[in-house]
Chains A and B, each alone.
Chain A
Amino acid sequence: MRKLQIFRNFVLSILLVFSSYALPQEPVRIAFMDPLTGAFASIGNSGLKQLQFAADYIYNSKGGILGGRMIEIVPLDNKQSPTESQLQFRRAVSEGIQYIFQGNGSAVANALNDAINRHNRRNPGQEVMQINYSAVDPILTEENCSFWHFRWDAHANMKLNILTDYIAANEDIDSVYIIGQDYSFGQVVSDTSIELLRQKRPDIEIAGSEFHPIGQVKDFTPYVTKIVASGADAVITGNYGADMVSLARSIIDNGLDIPIYTFYAAYDGITATLGADGKNRIRLIHNETSNPIPTEERKEFMRAFKAKNPNNDVTQPRITNALMMIVRAMEEAQSTDPYDVGLALEDMRFTTIGGDEVWMRGEDHQVFQSLHISVHTDEGVEFDADNSGFGLYTEYSVPLEETIVPVNECRMRRPRR
C-alpha cells in the first residue's frame, strides 16, 4: 500500500515536472495555406519556403518567441480552389491553429474570409486570423473588410494608381491593351486601369481589354495576334504563375516589341524563361525595393535564404514583414489570442529589415508602405532571380504617404469582448 502511494506520488511529480516544462515549450502554430500542387504549385511552394525560413532564421534559431516558444509552420495545400480551402480551413481549426497565411488568388482569399468570419462568430474564444500576404482584390479591405483579416500587400487599385501614373508619364504610349485572368482580380485590374488612364491621360486609347480563363490557356499566341492587330503600344496584365510566363513568352516569340506592365512577372522560373528576350521590356509594380537592396540586414537575410534554398529566391519580402509584425504584436500583447494580437497590429508602425516603413491602418487593416516599379534586366542586379543572371532593378519609387488611399466602404464589425 505504502509502496503504491510512493509510486503514485512519484508518477504525479514526474507528470507535474513535465507539464510545467511542456507548457511554455508548446509551439505557436501558423498555417500556410496555398497551392502546393497543380498549375500554381511553384508560387505556393516558394512562399512556404520563405515563411519557413523567416520563422527559423529570425526566431526559432534565436530561442523562439514569447519566452521560448517555437514557431511551427503547418503547410496546407488548398490547390488554389475555394472549396478545397474550406476543407483545409476545417482541418486547421480541428488542429487548433489560429493563424492562417494565405496569398494566392483573391477568389480563395474571399472564400477563406467568409469561412473565418462565420467560424469566429460561432466560436468565440477560438477565433482564427487571416494573414493575407498577397491577395490584392480591393474588396477584402473595402466592402468585405473584417477584423480578422489583415493584408500585407498593396491592393490592386493602389498598385494601378502608381502604375498608371508611370504609364501616363510616358509620352510614347498612345494606346494600351489590357489582358487578364477571368476572375475578380483580373476584372479589377482591367476596370481600374481603364478608369485611371481615362482620368490621367484621356488621349490614351484602350486598344482592347481581354479576359482568359485562369490556368487553362495552353497557348497565348491567339491573344497576342489580337494585341498586334490592335496596334497597342503597351500591355497591362495582372497574370501570375504559368499564365504570366506563357503570355510573356508568346509576346516575345511573336516579335511584339512593346513594354509589358505587370504585377508578378518575376521569379519562380519566370525570370529565367524570359531571359535576355525580356530585358528592359517587362516591368513590375511591387513593395520592398529589389536591386539595389537598401540594407545590409536584408542582404544577409537573402544570402542566408539562398544558402539554404539554392533554387529559390526571396520573392515576397512581405511574407517576412507579416510574420515579424505578428510576432511583434504577440510580444506586445503577451498573448497568441488573435483578438489581442489583432488589436496590437492595428495602426502598428514597423520598420522592415529592408529599412522600409510599414503602416497597418486600423480602420480597414490595409498595409501601406512605399511602392516601386522595377524592370527585368541583367544590369546592376546584385541579387538575381532563378540563378539566371537576370533580375529586377528598381527604376521608380513612391513613398508611403503618396500610396495612401482613403478608407473606402469599410464598415468593420468589431468583436465584443
Chain B
Amino acid sequence: MLEVFIFATLNGLVTGLLLFMLASGLTLIFSMMGVLNFAHASFYMLGAYFAYSISLYFGFWTGLIFAPIIVGVLGALVERYGLRRVHQHGHVAELVFTFGLAFLIEEAVQFFWGADTKNYQSPDLLDFPLFTLFGQEFPAYRGFMIGISITIFIGLYYVLTKSRIGIIIQAALTHPHTVSNLGHNVPLIFMGVFGVGTALAGVAGVMAGPVLTTFPGMAVVLGSIVFVIVVIGGLGSLAGAFIASILIGLLQSYAIASDLGMSDLLNLLGIEFSRDHPLTDLWTLTLPQVAPILPFLLLVLVLIFRPTGLMGKREQ
C-alpha cells in the first residue's frame, strides 16, 4: 500500500507540475489581457511537434531550447497581428478567434506531420531509473520534468514579484493607462506576456511529448483540464494555478491508485443490490473509473462555494 501511495504522489506531482506549466501561461495571459486563450493547449502541442522535428536533426536538448522559442515567437506574432486587431471588437470576438485558432493549429499539425503518433523519445542521457523502490523504477526523465517545472515556477514568481519588469507587468494589469502615460509601451508588454505564456506551453509540450506521446489529439486531451485549473485556482492568480495544478494532479493520481468504489460505500451503509438491478452500472462504479471527471466535479463545487476560485481576488 505504501509503495502505491508514494508512487501515486510522485505521479501526481509530475502531472500537476506539467499542468501548471500550461496553466501558468494561460492565467498570466488572462490576467493581462482578459483573454481566455482557447488555443493555449495547441501551442503546447506545437511545442512537442517542433521539438520532435528538431530532435531528429540536433537531438533532444537543442529541441528543449529552441522549440519553446519558436512557439513563443509564433505566439507573439499571433498576438500582434491577430488578437490585437480582433481586440477592438470585444471579448466575444477574441474568444471566437482563439477558438478557431485551436482548430487551425490542429489541422495544420495533421497537415504537416500527419495524423499518426510520432516517435519522439526522451534523451538517452536521462534513460535510466532515478531510483528503484519496492521493485518499481522511477524514470530519471520524470525527475527532470519535476526539476524544470519547479525552476520555472520559482523563476516566474521571482520575475513577477521582484524584478522591475515584473512590477511594470503587474502595474499594467491593473492600471494600463497610467503605465502607458508613464512612458511604457503597454501593447509591447502584452505581446511579450503572450509570447512568454505560449513559450511556457511550448516547454510543457517539449517535455510531455516523449512521456505522453506526441499525436494530433494531445491538445484536446489536455485543453479542457487546463481551463479547469485556471478557474479553480482563481482567474489570473499564479499561486492559485500552482495549487490547483498540484491538487488536480494528486487527486487524479490518488483516485486511480485507490480501489474504492460505490460497492464499498454501500457495504458501509449496509445496503445491497442484486447484480441484475437496472442501475447496476451505478452501484459498481469505482473511483478509478470516475477519476478523469473528478477535476470537473471539483470545478463545479468551487464555482458554487467560492466563485472567485481558491486564490482569486477578482471583485464583482
A residues whose Cβ falls under 8 Å from a Cβ of B: 36-42, 44-46, 182, 210-213, 215-219, 221-223, 225-226, 228-229, 242, 245-246, 249, 253-256, 268-270, 272-273, 275, 311, 386, 388
Check if B136 is an interface residue, CB within 8 A of chain A: yes
Option from A41, A249, A255 in Cβ contact (under 8 Å) with B216: A41
Interface of chain B, main secondary structure: helix
CA A222 – CA B4 in complex, angstroms? 9
**Is B217 within 8 A of A219, CB to CB?**
no
**Is A269 within 8 A of B110, CB to CB?**
no
Q: How many chain B residues touch A (Cβ–Cβ < 8 Å)?
A: 46
**Is B212 within 8 A of A218, CB to CB?**
yes
Known: A39-B221, A44-B115, A253-B211. 10 other contacts (CB 8 A): A37-B107, A41-B110, A45-B115, A218-B212, A218-B221, A219-B211, A222-B257, A228-B135, A249-B211, A272-B117
Q: Which of B7-15, B172-180, B181-189, B195-203 contacts A (4 or more CB under 8 A)?
A: B7-15
Closest 8 CB pairs of A and B: A269-B117, A39-B217, A255-B137, A269-B116, A42-B116, A272-B119, A41-B115, A222-B256
**Is B215 within 8 A of A42, CB to CB?**
yes
19 contacts between A and B (CB under 8 A): A39-B215, A41-B217, A42-B115, A42-B215, A46-B116, A219-B211, A221-B14, A221-B142, A222-B12, A223-B256, A226-B256, A229-B4, A229-B134, A249-B213, A254-B139, A268-B117, A272-B119, A311-B116, A388-B119
Interface string of B187-226 (1 = CB under 8 A from A): 0000000000000000000000001110111001110010
Chain B residues whose CB sits within 8 angstroms of the CB of A42 once the complex forms? 114-117, 215-216
Check if B82 is an interface residue, CB within 8 A of chain A: no
**Is B117 within 8 A of A242, CB to CB?**
yes
**Is A37 within 8 A of B136, CB to CB?**
no
CA A41 – CA B220 in complex, angstroms? 13
CA A178 – CA B48 in complex, angstroms? 31
Chain B residues whose CB sits within 8 angstroms of the CB of A210 once the complex forms? 288
Known contacts A38-B217, A216-B221, A245-B213; A273 and B117 CB within 8 A of each other: yes
Option from A221, A226, A270 in Cβ contact (under 8 Å) with B117: A270
Known contacts A41-B110, A45-B115, A273-B117; A222 and B8 CB within 8 A of each other: yes
Known contacts A37-B106, A242-B117, A246-B212; A215 and B221 CB within 8 A of each other: yes
B residues whose Cβ falls under 8 Å from a Cβ of A: 3-4, 7-8, 11-12, 14-15, 106-107, 110, 114-119, 121, 129, 132, 134-139, 141-142, 211-213, 215-217, 220-222, 225, 252-253, 256-257, 288-289, 291-292
Chain B residues whose CB sits within 8 angstroms of the CB of A38 once the complex forms? 216-217, 220
CA A36 – CA B115 in complex, angstroms? 8
CA A275 – CA B213 in complex, angstroms? 13
The smallest beta-carbon distance between A43 and chain B, in angstroms, is 8
Chain A residues whose CB sits within 8 angstroms of the CB of B253 once the complex forms? 222
**Is A242 within 8 A of B217, CB to CB?**
yes
**Is B252 within 8 A of A222, CB to CB?**
yes
**Is B213 within 8 A of A212, CB to CB?**
no
Chain A residues whose CB sits within 8 angstroms of the CB of B115 once the complex forms? 36, 41-42, 44-46
Known contacts A225-B8, A255-B137; A37 and B110 CB within 8 A of each other: yes
Most A CB contacts (10 A, CB to CB) among B4, B117, B215 go to B117
CA A98 – CA B215 in complex, angstroms? 33
**Is B7 within 8 A of A225, CB to CB?**
yes
CA A272 – CA B121 in complex, angstroms? 10
Closest A residue to B258 by CB, please name it. Answer: A226
**Is A253 within 8 A of B139, CB to CB?**
yes
CA A232 – CA B190 in complex, angstroms? 53
Chain B residues whose CB sits within 8 angstroms of the CB of A217 once the complex forms? 221, 292
CA A216 – CA B288 in complex, angstroms? 13
The smallest beta-carbon distance between B254 and chain A, in angstroms, is 8
**Is B288 within 8 A of A212, CB to CB?**
yes
CA A249 – CA B122 in complex, angstroms? 11
**Is A311 within 8 A of B114, CB to CB?**
yes
CA A254 – CA B8 in complex, angstroms? 13
**Is A386 within 8 A of B139, CB to CB?**
no
Most A CB contacts (10 A, CB to CB) among B7, B116, B220 go to B116
Closest A residue to B15 by CB, please name it. Answer: A219
**Is B220 within 8 A of A228, CB to CB?**
no
CA A42 – CA B214 in complex, angstroms? 12
The smallest beta-carbon distance between A282 and chain B, in angstroms, is 15
**Is A221 within 8 A of B11, CB to CB?**
yes
CA A182 – CA B289 in complex, angstroms? 8
